[in-house]
Structure 1
Amino acid sequence: MTSYDQLVDRVLASADATAQDALAVLRTPDDEVMGLVAAISRLRREHFGMTVKVNYLVNLRSGLCPEDCGYCSQALGSTSEILRYTWLSEDEALAQAQAGLRGGATRVCMVASGRGPSERDIDRVAGMVDAIKSEHPQVEVCACLGLLKDGQAERLREAGVDAYNHNINTAESHHDSIVTTHTYEDRVRTVAKAQGAGLSACSGLIAGLGESDEQLVEALVALRELGSESIPINFLIPFDGTPKQQTWELSPLRCIKILAAARLLAPAAEIRIAAGREMHLRSLQATGLHLANSIFLGDYLTAEGQAADDDLALLADNGFVVLGSPDDESGPREDHPVIRRRGAGTQTPANA
């Protein structure tokens, strides 16, 4: 039995992995990575079997953001060549959501650039959610609209939103080096507001921003302590026209170690391989899915992903099953955060 297996046995026995455990995983020698995957993947299979949750992004508003996040193509000062547009219409949002659902997605992530939504923006998103759930009542909807004001999370919950995404992006000790127009605490406060309204918390990070191993672990531990039920792991896409252009700190094996550390620290969380999957994992995408259990289908906000058909073929070729598909025999998990919120003792939206 390897030391990795012993560590996994301890976690399976309900002991939390420590920051030092995760740090050791990140520093695994390259020639031991497959052994690491074999061990840590036991945690993935314990909680999720071979299912993969498929998510689909709908970019409601692109560019035009006043924040100065140094990694973002939509940020203030970015000269990246991206589409810039104001809000999609309700019909356009519905059509895009349906495209993802036809491809097997069970969660639609509705994203809008900007510091945070106005009350009019909340009304607009509520109408879109109603249109989507009227046509597809079982779909999960996750909103990602920036920093929330008091009462806005409650309004989104009443409209039928199931989850709210707001990434911490990096460790608190590293935050001020990547953005100056908002604080780390601003981000944590928005996650807490979403949770307080009964929304499932979706919060993750971006790897490859110049953080140290210790800071990467710091961020992952913070996400566990925040109670993030869905943890997107983004790998920096170094857009031209941003301060992080031509920043290449990641290798495929490094990305695998990051996913392994995330699974170790949050064994029952939905770990999603998000932006940069194709660019940085490359031929190890399937290996990454023995650690993570969720992906985005197709394109990201301002970057192209691989073709949706190729994503689905990747899953099938490697023995994975799309969650909610006819081949999925797992059934609904009673401890799934959305199932919990729709169950007894919760306020169920009329259109959910």
Structure 2
Amino acid sequence: MNAATTASPASDTATANPTAINRFDALADQVLDGNPISREQALEILKTPDDEVLNLLSAGFRIRQKHFGKTVQLYFLMSAKSGLCPEDCHYCSQSKISEAPVPKHNILKRDDLMAAAKMAADRGAKTYCLVISARGPNEREMSAVEQIVPEIKQKYDLDICACLGLLSREQADRLKACGVDRVNHNLNTSEEHYADICTTHTYADRVGTLRNVRDAGMEMCSGGIIGMGEKHEDVVSMAFDLQELGVQSIPLNFLNAIEGTPLEGNKDLSPHDCLRALAMFRFVNPDRELRISGGREIHLRTLQPLGLYVANSLFVGDYLTTQGQAPEEDYQMIKDLGFEVTKSTGETPTC
């Protein structure tokens, strides 16, 4: 068999569309040269044909590799308080309008939180994410966090990310003082689409919390969810808003349309949709930590490894009210890619 008959699938794609590789590599060159892409260019990334997605990921990997090499950081999520939330976020099984059967309990006792911290450390996680369901923390919950965080940090080599809902500046200052490293508060979608998924608080409320976190001297962790009926323009707007806020860590979730929530039945995402979104977020936020988050097992399925060519972190284990895949599968996936788990932040972004 001669060389003319043994072309690889990659070369077939390049022959079918010889400008595809050059187009994405030119975008990567633009970003690597320090020139941000435009909203129009980001929108074009989300419209990439399926047969060009591998070329897109290859170009995006060059950006990821510059800032994070082949490292992957692991995060461990702990639902410290479940259910009982007065908000009406349509995607959430813990909201007041959800009929999904979820555990309902107030903030867990010290021993439970410490046991989860040990599990996070044992699984090689860099960050322990302490999450409560609430509009915002009450005084009892703030005090519990202030007491447990120093103990966790003294005993385990873990960063602490607190996800406690809306925060005042005074509350943010208290979290900083007790040793919290970063606070998670997702924008979830664009400002334009926000009223379609929540009415009990506003997009501006969420942005205000992030600014309070930033002004208190903590890192901001904020991302969103795709698959909630938004338009491509909404996803692009969210990516740029996060960039403009200077968010250090971006978790990108893919809607798990839980039965009993208003968004049950929304299953419009394909694996390629998820990969396009991850790539777009990498091009818009080149030196930010990008995490493949909830719903990856459902929507990326067997293409999960490809997501790590642009993202550089994962949650290991379960999510708030849904199960993730076994940690051993994540370790094997990372190993098979030739990547390595690290607790180092690599090149520190400058905000």
Q: Normalised by the shorter chain, which TM-score bucket?
A: over 0.9
Report the equivalent of 1:140: 159
TM-score, normalising length from structure 2? 0.92
Taking only the aligned residue pairs, the percentage that are identical comes to 45
Matches within 5 A, 1:17-166: 17-136=37-156, 138-166=157-185
Matches within 5 A, 1:277-316: 277-316=296-335
1:347 — aligned with what? none
Label 1:336 to 1:12 Cα distance change in 2 as closer, same or farther (>3 A). Answer: closer
Contact 1:167 1:205 in 2 (8 A): yes
Q: Which residue is 1:335 aligned to?
A: 348
SS of alignment partner, residue 151 of structure 2: helix
- State the Cα deviation string for residues 289-321 of structure 1 (Å, max 9, x = none): 001001000100000000111111111111110
- Where 1:272 maps in the other structure, the secondary structure is strand
Q: How many residues align?
A: 331
Give the C-alpha shift of residue 279 in structure 1: 0.5
| 1:61 partner letter | K
2:351 counterpart of 1:320:
no
Aligned to 1:328: none
SS of equivalent to 1:305: coil
3-state SS of 1:228 partner: coil
* CA deviations over 1:230-259 (Å, ceiling 9, x no partner): 010000000000000011120000000000
Residues 142 and 165 in structure 1, CA contact (< 8 A), matched pair in contact too: yes
Q: CA deviation at 1:97?
A: 1.4
TM-score normalized by the length of structure 1 = 0.92
Which stretches in structure 1 are left out of the alignment for 5+ residues? 325-330, 341-352
Provide the C-alpha distance between the structure 2 equivalents of 1:39 and 1:159, rounded to a whole number of angstroms.
Answer: 41
Amino acid corresponding to residue 257 of structure 1 in structure 2: R
The structure 2 residue matched to 1:170, chosen from 170, 182, 189, is 189
1:16 aligns with 36
Give the alignment of 1:255-270 within 5 angstroms. Answer: 255-270=274-289
Deviation of residue 82 (structure 1)? 1.5
Q: Distance in 1 between matches of 2:146 and 2:296?
A: 31
Which one-letter code corresponds to 1:35 in the other structure? N
Given the superposition, is the C-alpha separation of residues 11 and 310 from structure 1 closer, same or farther in structure 2, using an over 3 Å criterion?
same
1:42 partner letter: R
Q: Any stretches of 5+ residues in structure 2 without a counterpart?
A: 1-20
Q: Which residue of 2 aligns with 1:349?
A: none
RMSD: 1.2
Contact 2:257 2:267 in 1 (8 A): yes
Say if 1:233 and 1:271, in contact at 8 Å, map to a contact too. yes
Amino acid of the structure 1 residue aligned with 2:108:
L
Name which one, 1 or 2, has greater alpha-carbon Rg: 2
Deviation of the 1:120 alpha carbon: 2.2
